[in-house]
């Protein structure tokens, strides 16, 4: 792919991410809070160090985000089984419900927009999914 199309792809991916991140606003969460909640929901129990690495947050910022999520009864701290100085996090039932609503909202938004697009565009997007998934995997492994 030439440089111009690589730049277009990067821009559209960024724009899509920003637009999809707007969904948590209805749950009174920032995009970062929603992202941390999603990570806790899917990977619990998860430690703070691992979470900071995955999210790309410094420990102080992550502590603030987690404190807000704990205060809102979305996640809870658990003692780490091998390190008494560390904690692990898991989603509360309320946190799992909020996360499910965020996902449902994002899915409904994308489905609605897809329904408004011409059928050939929807087919092209469906056909592009394997390539986009491979790109996402490549980006994920690049960060590690």
| pLDDT tens profile 82-121 | 888 888 999 999 999 999 999 998 888 889 999 999 999 9
Matching CATH number, 3-143, of 3.40.50.300, 3.40.50.10190, 1.10.10.10, 3.40.50.10490: 1.10.10.10
User: Would the pLDDT of 144 be above 60?
Assistant: no
> Mean of the pLDDT values across residues 121-134?
95
Contacts for 76-83: CB closer than 8 Å, 24+ residues apart = 78/45, 80/47
Select the more confidently predicted residue: 19 or 90.
90
Find out whether 48 and 86 touch, Cβ atoms under 8 Å.
Answer: yes
Q: Considering the entire predicted model, what is its pTM?
A: 0.81
What's the rounded mean pLDDT across residues 28-35?
90
122, 114 in Cβ contact below 8 A? Answer: yes
Give phi and psi for 124, each to the nearest 5: -60, -40
- What is the spatial distance between Cα 36 and Cα 66, in angstroms, rounded to a whole number? 8
Q: Where are the beta strands (DSSP E) in 1-143?
A: 46-47, 75-79, 87-91
- The tokens for 60 are 């102080």
Would you list the domain boundaries of the chain?
Answer: 3-143
Residue 73's pLDDT is 97
pLDDT, tens only, 52-79: 988 889 999 999 999 999 999 999 999 8
pLDDT at 23: 67
Half-sphere exposure (CA, 13 Å, Cβ side) for 56? Answer: 5
């Amino acid at each position: 792919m030439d440089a111009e199309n690589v730049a277009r792809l990067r821009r559209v991916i960024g724009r899509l991410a920003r637009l999809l991140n707007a969904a948590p606003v209805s749950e009174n969460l920032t995009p970062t809070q929603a992202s941390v909640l999603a990570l806790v929901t899917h990977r619990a129990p998860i430690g703070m160090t691992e979470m900071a690495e995955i999210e790309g947050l410094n420990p102080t910022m992550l502590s603030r985000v987690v404190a807000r999520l704990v205060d809102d009864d979305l996640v809870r701290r658990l003692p780490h089984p091998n390190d008494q100085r560390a904690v692990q996090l898991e989603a509360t039932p309320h946190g799992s419900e909020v996360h499910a609503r965020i996902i449902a909202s994002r899915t409904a938004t994308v489905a609605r927009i897809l329904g408004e697009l011409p059928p050939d565009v929807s087919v092209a997007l469906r056909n592009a999914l394997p390539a986009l998934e491979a790109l996402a995997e490549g980006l994920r492994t690049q960060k590690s």
